[in-house]
Structure 1
Amino acid sequence: MVRHMSERADDLQRAGQQLSSLVDAATVVGLGTSTRAAHELFGLVEHTTRALIRRGFRVVAVLDNQRVGELYDEFVRGADIDLDGVLGQAWGPWRTTEMRAALGWLRRHNQRRTDPVRVIAVGGSRVLPADYHRAVELLARLDAPTARRVGELFDVIRTAHDSGEHVQRAHGTHPGTPFVDLARTARDLVLALDGGPDRDEVLLMLDAIVEHHANAIGVGHDVAREERSAADRLVAHQRRTGERIVLWEGSAHVAAHRGVMLGAHLRAALADRYAAVHLTFGRGRIPGMDLPEPSPNSLEGALLAGGAGGVRIVDLRSPAATEVAPLLGRPARTRVVSGVYDPGQDERHYLDLPSPRDSFDVVAVVPTISAVRPLSAATERDVPGRRNE
């Protein structure tokens, strides 16, 4: 089944409703985007999620820091939370006005309901940007020179919460020394101080900070372990609560074909109760760059061939239009625009799929995208996001 509609805001809403109708029998729906930096793709995620909530889904899951997820959840359930402060602690791609608006909608929705929608985060790390500030504050009580030196090291490595080390290397902004080595240097400086409660608290934070940077992509990141752990957390939550879940992530993570990624584990655990949705695009702009037309031999290129305008939705489990049916059961490529994407080398940024049908249940293609709107600044707090404490 193939459908078309334009990408105006009201048509994105209708597309979300149609997408939800195709996957609402699932227990977990993975909404994967080929880039996290496109306003229209996030809009499709949000509108599809709203429609699924109306159909009984009660949890939104994100692959982010679990402590941030706890604060998201408090906010959407009505707590007195400074949302911009919370988003300042989030993984960089979530720090957008679109994310803020989506969480605001969930909060308003919950105010009218007795069965609130919850938010969970299933990422592995529990280190926040605010932890670095807290550690330096405690050190300042003990030894000002050590606090200054540790603060200088933190000023470098804390940037990984905005843009990962692998992204910094790709863009030529990485200082060279692995951040885990700088974190270990900071820990050694603190170990040289006299013992006491403040020093012990700082060392606990530094142990977590060292572990966080030791797991960085390109350093010691174990993608198989991290993806399986995230899937295990999500499935455990679903089995414990019985609630149906919408997962917001990148398409490479939600893809259901066999492998090490999150979606593969969800398909193995849930079978057809897991639905994988791929939201992708043709061309457009994201913050800082223009994106060219997709490769003609890509999934996007094939689905957009012929020039029909509007969002194209393909249910891969049903008979498809004649011109795309031969593509869906054979190996294919789809574009993935991550933080290391280079528009001048577009051909290098395609994910190989065993076949679209093996990887996804539904695909939606937006012909043209525009950039998300990043929040102007991140706010760091000792206890991020909470007011009046």
Structure 2
Amino acid sequence: MTTWLDEAAREGLDALGSRAAEAEIVALGVSCRSARELSTMADEMLRYLVEHHGFRALALEGDDVAGALLDAHVRTGEGDPRQILAESRPFLRTEEVLDAVRWVRSFNERHPGDPVRVVHPARPPELPGDRAGIERMLADGISRWHEENPAKIVYWGGIAHTAPDDIPTLGKLLRERYAYLSVGLTFHHGEPSAWMPAPPPDFLEATLDTAALDTFLLDLRDAPAAWAHAPARTRLVGPAYDPAEDGHHLDGTPAGWFDLVRHTRRVTPGEFFRLSCRSAPVPSVGRMTEGVTMTEFEVRAQDGRLHFTRHYPHEVARVWRALTDNAELSAWTPWRMRVDTVPGGALSVAFGRGKASKGEVVAVEPGRRVVWRCYGELLDWSLAEHDGGCLLSLDTTMADPGHVTHSAAGFHISLDNLALVLDGQPVVKATSPPKEPRFPELVRHYATTLR
């Protein structure tokens, strides 16, 4: 297999050109949207397909509102692309995506009679409640655009959607409708957010890493059938990732997922837009935040870090118990928790009835401070006597710096729930923060105030 890989692996994009010549849609499916190298490879392939093979539409998966605004920008120059992306989904808020958008605009300025468009629906559809419905919504959106704008499309999204699967995914649905080319962008190891070690040997990436080249393009048409059609796994890396589990992956076969693979050995973090250091006044959303003042609850963000300060009218010892007792932690945090609060102690967190992810207790100052590591992030909790009660501070690093506003909303809800626990009141929480009724409004609030 290694011999074939070394013979078939190519540094250039000629193999993409030969396959894309007859394609109506080329899907660039990345295994991790926060990895710099995967984004720059996708950008390079987009430019190649536009300049050399007549592709005239870009579908940026994940934000229909941003898509409409970006389409206006690349056609007319209207609007600030950085600002549009800064208010979009977290994984689009990177310099790498911005570079791609700016290049499309410059191409259109050079070719005013033959522009590249950004795909978007006439109006954003309602999000279905199930995975199959979401996949069909994505595919139908592309089909409607293609019917009205019959241009060849580059679809830039995640492997979970672009790789044909039995669900059926967007990739499977589009393959049934069009000449569809699936390109997987993969990596072996690195630190796009949390550190991700070498994958287990049954993963596609483990085999690709045996090639001599660090970065290459591979056409799977001529791959040995015993490998191309053999059961395997490939990574799917989202905002929360537990490297000890490698729990996010796709099962299938290499040839079933991809027509071509562009692989790189090691990845690094994408360059997310920097958040200025700014305090966010707390909105009145739900009964717990009503009337809260800045001195009682303050949130600051800078460069992918969050700092919360909140005052509780309770003794420090009482708040410490809520930070270390498993039953109370499971009541006010979004997780089902088990933690051994000693240095190096085990930590386990799970959403609802989901599979537990493992972490650890990094540091402890009994009664005053505890630091957890979980989901690739550090959560540093500290307590101090203040104004007859307890001042709680939380400093946390973001595994995905583009996810700051969503994390701020989630922690906001948890700190409200902590107040209920301390007051001896019942807590009714959803299975995950995004399902909390207050979550969407809090996300909008922090997206505005934490810029």
Task: Tell me the TM-score normalized by structure 2.
Answer: 0.57
Question: Which residue of structure 2 aligns with residue 364 of structure 1?
Answer: 262
Residue identity opposite 2:116 in structure 1 = V
Q: 5+ unaligned residues in a row in structure 2: which ranges?
A: 277-404, 406-442
**Which aligned pairs between 1:2-17 and structure 2 lie closer than 5 A?**
3-4=8-9, 14-15=12-13
Question: Which residue of structure 1 aligns with residue 248 of structure 2?
Answer: 349
Higher RCO (CA < 8 A, seq sep 6+): 1
- d(CA) in 2 for partners of 1:311 and 1:53? 22
Question: Which residue of structure 2 aligns with residue 68 of structure 1?
Answer: 66
2:244 alignment partner, SS class: helix
2:240 alignment partner, SS class: coil
- d(CA) in 2 for partners of 1:282 and 1:123? 39
Residue identity opposite 1:104 in structure 2 = R
**Which aligned pairs between 1:1-389 and structure 2 lie closer than 5 A?**
3-4=8-9, 14-15=12-13, 18-54=15-51, 55-113=53-111, 114-121=113-120, 125=124, 221-270=129-178, 273-287=179-193, 289-305=194-210, 308-317=212-221, 319-320=222-223, 325-346=225-246, 348-353=247-252, 355-377=253-275
- d(CA) in 1 for partners of 2:183 and 2:198? 21
- d(CA) in 1 for partners of 2:30 and 2:21? 18
Cα distance, 1:125 vs structure 2: 4.8
Q: Would you say the 8 A contact 2:68–2:121 is kept in 1?
A: no
- d(CA) in 1 for partners of 2:21 and 2:239? 31
Higher-strand-fraction structure: 2
Distance 1:313 1:122, change over 3 A: farther
Higher-helix-fraction structure: 1
Distance 1:283 1:74, change over 3 A: same
- d(CA) in 2 for partners of 1:78 and 1:337? 35
- d(CA) in 2 for partners of 1:110 and 1:293? 41
Cα distance, 1:107 vs structure 2: 0.5
- d(CA) in 2 for partners of 1:119 and 1:225? 23
- d(CA) in 1 for partners of 2:444 and 2:132? 33
Q: Would you say the 8 A contact 2:15–2:218 is kept in 1?
A: no
Cα distance, 1:254 vs structure 2: 0.5
Tell me which stretches of 4 or more aligned residues in structure 1 moved more than 4 Å.
122-126, 378-382
Q: 5+ unaligned residues in a row in structure 1: which ranges?
A: 6-10, 127-210, 216-220, 385-389
- d(CA) in 2 for partners of 1:123 and 1:32? 24
Task: Tell me the TM-score normalized by structure 1.
Answer: 0.65
Cα distance, 1:371 vs structure 2: 1.0
- d(CA) in 2 for partners of 1:89 and 1:268? 34
